Amino acid sequence: MALKALLGLSQAQLETWAKDQGLPAFRGRQLHDWLYAKGARQWNDITVLPAALRQQAPLPLGRSAELERYLAQDGTLKLLLATDDGLSLETVGIPTRDRLTVCVSSQVGCPMACRFCATGKEGLQRSLAPHEIVDQVLTVREVMQRRPSHVVFMGMGEPLLNSDHVLTAIDCLSRDLGMAMRQITVSTVGVPNTLPRLAELALERLGRAQFTLAVSLHAPDQALREELIPTARAYPYEQLLEDCRHYVAISGRRVSFEYILLGNLNDSPRQAQALAEQVRGFQSHVNLIPYNPIAEEEFQRPEPARVEAFAGALKQRGVAVSVRASRGLDQNAACGQLRRQRQGGR
């Protein structure tokens, strides 16, 4: 496959590329420093390079142009970025006092069509290349003037349908940006025959599988899961959980389970009890996510008391649980809403 951009390449790969251009290897080391440490956006930014090379610009660096930005009252940053082929993608920076989490997209659009997700309303346009994923982290760092501490693949797209490029991006974030792999999370709604293979590929490509795998359940049973996630019809609940067990056995890492709470639909204590039965036996954690409404669906955000009761029912049954704090609610918090707004979708 032809190389599309320099971003995403390691220092050794950049040295090789420089020598292929008839340049000394140290030019590759300079490129690495300017790409990752200094965040160069264009060739002319790299002032240590010869003017002739900067003017020639033999290959794109791989940075995306910013189309729009929104800053919520709580400090959450939402960016809409342009791709070279005229598409757009979202990324989000979520700051707290001690950390900065970047929520990255792995695809433009998504084919999974989850009913509660704005991104799925548009379908899939294409998967993102490694440089387009890494660029999201660099752009948030640049705009917020702060080093990201965590990355979550929870933006647009299904990461396991782009696992090759996702793993390449994770390798780059860890190796070239110095991020701890344990601070990276890959979230999936579940794709048949991919979870054990993801663990095997991570061991083969990265030497380890230290990132966190988060599996989106969103229902305590197959029937409701199919209602919320149409693609679940091809992936029975028990098979999904069995694949999670295989992933744990291969990787040695626990699995986290995500569960969007939809008001008066999947948020009763009885359903919490059923969910606890499903995840019994896992060294796992359940992350509860109160729903952020989108215009296309009539799902409701759950009442705080029901969220608390659901979490309590899980804890009573020995399940480790946390409730994700909602961020950016005044700026179209749900994934994909900013992009749809720009395209005229409602």
Looking at the structure, do residues 230 and 89 belong to the same domain, yes or no?
yes
Assess if residue 256 is contained within a domain: yes
Assess if residue 27 is contained within a domain: yes
Contacts 24+ apart (CB under 8 A), 159-163: 159/106, 159/186, 159/187, 159/188, 160/186, 160/188, 160/190, 160/191, 160/194, 160/195, 160/198, 161/106, 161/107, 161/111, 161/127, 161/191, 162/106, 162/107, 162/127, 162/128, 163/194, 163/197, 163/198, 163/201
As a whole number, mean pLDDT of residues 207-229 equals: 96
Looking at the structure, do residues 33 and 148 belong to the same domain, yes or no?
no
Looking at the structure, do residues 178 and 99 belong to the same domain, yes or no?
yes
Assess if residue 6 is contained within a domain: no
173: pLDDT strictly greater than 90: yes
Assess if residue 4 is contained within a domain: no
Average pLDDT, the chain: 93
345: pLDDT strictly greater than 50: no
Looking at the structure, do residues 268 and 147 belong to the same domain, yes or no?
yes
Looking at the structure, do residues 135 and 40 belong to the same domain, yes or no?
no
Query: In the listed set 19, 34, 56, which residue is the last one of a domain according to the structure?
Result: 56
The per-residue pLDDT for 282 is 84
Q: Is 335 a catalytic site residue?
A: yes
338: pLDDT strictly greater than 90: no
Assess if residue 97 is contained within a domain: yes
Report the C-alpha gap between 123 and 152 in whole angstroms: 21
Tens of pLDDT along 34-81?
999 999 999 999 999 999 999 999 999 999 999 999 999 999 999 999
Looking at the structure, do residues 278 and 329 belong to the same domain, yes or no?
yes
Number of domains present in the structure of the chain: 2
Looking at the structure, do residues 147 and 16 belong to the same domain, yes or no?
no
Catalytic residue among 90, 132, 158, 258: 90
87: pLDDT strictly greater than 70: yes
Catalytic residue among 103, 110, 117, 335: 335
The per-residue pLDDT for 120 is 81
Tens of pLDDT along 247-300?
999 999 999 999 999 999 999 999 999 999 999 888 779 999 999 888 778 899
Looking at the structure, do residues 121 and 263 belong to the same domain, yes or no?
yes
As a whole number, mean pLDDT of residues 222-228 equals: 97
The model's confidence at residue 346, banded by pLDDT at 50, 70 and 90, is: very low
Assess if residue 91 is contained within a domain: yes
The per-residue pLDDT for 22 is 95
CATH number at residue 216: 3.20.20.70
Report the C-alpha gap between 181 and 175 in whole angstroms: 9
User: In percent, how much of the chain has pLDDT > 70?
Assistant: 94
As a whole number, mean pLDDT of residues 116-141 equals: 94
Looking at the structure, do residues 85 and 188 belong to the same domain, yes or no?
yes
Identify which has the larger pLDDT, 310 or 296. 310
Looking at the structure, do residues 263 and 239 belong to the same domain, yes or no?
yes
Looking at the structure, do residues 34 and 138 belong to the same domain, yes or no?
no
341: pLDDT strictly greater than 70: no
CATH number at residue 15: 1.10.150.530
334: pLDDT strictly greater than 60: no
> Tokens in use for 154?
């929870």
Looking at the structure, do residues 258 and 160 belong to the same domain, yes or no?
yes
The per-residue pLDDT for 293 is 86
Assess if residue 2 is contained within a domain: no
Assess if residue 251 is contained within a domain: yes
User: In percent, how much of the chain has pLDDT > 90?
Assistant: 87
231: pLDDT strictly greater than 80: yes
The range of the structural domain enclosing residue 105 comes to: 65-343
